[in-house]
Structure 1
Amino acid sequence: MKIQEVIVVEGKDDTVAIKRAVGADTIETNGSAISNETLRRIMHAQEKRGVIVFTDPDYPGRRIRAIIEEHVPHAKHAFLAKEKTIAKNGKGLGIEHASDEDIRQALEAVYTPLTAERPVEITLEDLIDARLIAHPSAKARRTELGEALNIGYTNGKQLHKRLHVFGITKQQFIDAVQALTQEDRT
């Protein structure tokens, strides 16, 4: 599997894992304090070949993703569930610990943010009704929903935006929520 776009990762170990799993070039952010020079390189890569943001499913990874989204709004995104990025010894979390197959699957399921304005299909009321915000089990349900839809974990504020930006349809949302609800019953 050869990837045309440049994949943005956090560090050298992530680059090694990406190159082991797929043929791709990377840009390393070297932590969550992304320099202006690194942002310029990412913007340039987006113009020339496109960019896929593929960061760890933790706070620093989400912070990096948010910074890049702000400066490079049309960058694509790949996500891996936290469970797939835990080190074998249980001490560590990151793309570098994921299997080659999990990396390939995440890169095959890349999301491209929508650029055209379209009506928002999924409302905040839908999120409340689905117990994804303002509910004691909301965080766990958002985690499961993010995995089911391949959009990664989000907090309550980010979920509505990410569903819209990645073009999740009302039907996809309903199907994923129904699957969560069926799991709750078992």
Structure 2
Amino acid sequence: MKIKEIIVVEGKDDTVKVKLAVDADTIETRGSAVNDSVIDQIRHAQATRGVIILTDPDYPGQRIRSLIADKVPGCRHAFLPKSEAIEKHGRGVGIEYASVESIRKALRDAQYMDKEAAEQITKEDLVAAGLIGGPDSKTRREAVGQKLKIGYVNGKQLHKRLIMFQITREQFAEALMEVLEEEQS
């Protein structure tokens, strides 16, 4: 599978794993302190070929993703579920631990974010759906995030991500229904 866009990853091990999965070029942020030189490279890549951001499904990865998205608008975002990016002994989380197929799927499902999208789903909807403030909220958020291909986020970030990805009430309800049905079985 050849990818035209340049894929932004965190480090060398991520690049190695991505190149096993797809034929693509990468830019490495080399950690969470993304410097201006790297941002300039990403801006140039976005202007010439497009960019897909594929960071680790953890707090530092989310921080890097947000920083890049703020400074380089128009990037696509690929998400790996945390469960598919855990080192086999459970000591680490990262792209480098994911399977080749998981990486391919995440890249195929990459989406654009739109911070200016009209609000469709309210925070009250998220509370009513048991995605915020309930005993199983974290598990349910993770499952809904996978269904909607927006990645795992905490309660505060879920609302923002639903808006940025322009998730409609219908898409949200469908994903939630699937998750609730899976919980029942």
Considering the TM-score relative to the shorter chain, is it more than 0.5?
yes
CA distance in 1, matches of 2:76, 2:101: 20
Same amino acid, percent of matched pairs: 54
Determine if the alignment matches structure 1 residue 73 to structure 2 residue 73.
yes
Give deviations 1:75-134, integer Å, cap 9, x for gaps. Answer: 11000111111122333221111111111111000111237x553221222111111113
* Counterparts in 2 of 1:127 and 1:17: CA distance versus 1, 3 Å: same
> Which residue is 2:57 aligned to?
57
CA distance in 2, matches of 1:87, 1:98: 8
For 1:10, the aligned partner's letter is E
1:2 shift after superposition: 0.7
Gaps of 5+ in 2: none
**Residue pair 2:117, 2:166 contacting (<8 A) in 1 also:** no
**Residue pair 2:117, 2:164 contacting (<8 A) in 1 also:** no
Determine if the alignment matches structure 1 residue 107 to structure 2 residue 107.
yes
> Which residue is 2:145 aligned to?
146
Q: Secondary structure at the match of 1:52?
A: strand
Give deviations 1:52-85, integer Å, cap 9, x for gaps. Answer: 0000101111111111111113111000111111
CA distance in 2, matches of 1:137, 1:48: 44
> Which residue is 2:98 aligned to?
98
Higher mean displacement: 106-115 or 24-33: 106-115
> Which residue is 1:124 aligned to?
123
CA distance in 2, matches of 1:61, 1:118: 24
Determine if the alignment matches structure 1 residue 47 to structure 2 residue 47.
yes
Q: Secondary structure at the match of 1:39?
A: helix
Q: Secondary structure at the match of 1:66?
A: helix
> Which residue is 2:181 aligned to?
182
CA distance in 1, matches of 2:15, 2:99: 13
> Which residue is 2:171 aligned to?
172
Gaps of 5+ in 1: none
CA distance in 1, matches of 2:101, 2:138: 27
CA distance in 2, matches of 1:106, 1:5: 14
Aligned residues: 185
CA distance in 1, matches of 2:75, 2:155: 22
Root-mean-square deviation (CA, aligned residues, Å) is: 1.4
> Which residue is 1:11 aligned to?
11
Q: Secondary structure at the match of 1:7?
A: strand
CA distance in 2, matches of 1:128, 1:90: 31
> Which residue is 1:27 aligned to?
27
CA distance in 2, matches of 1:133, 1:85: 24
> Which residue is 1:37 aligned to?
37
Q: TM-score when scaled to structure 1? A: 0.93
Give deviations 1:15-51, integer Å, cap 9, x for gaps. Answer: 0111111011000001111111111111111111111
Instruction: List 4+ stretches of structure 1 deviating above 3 A.
Output: none
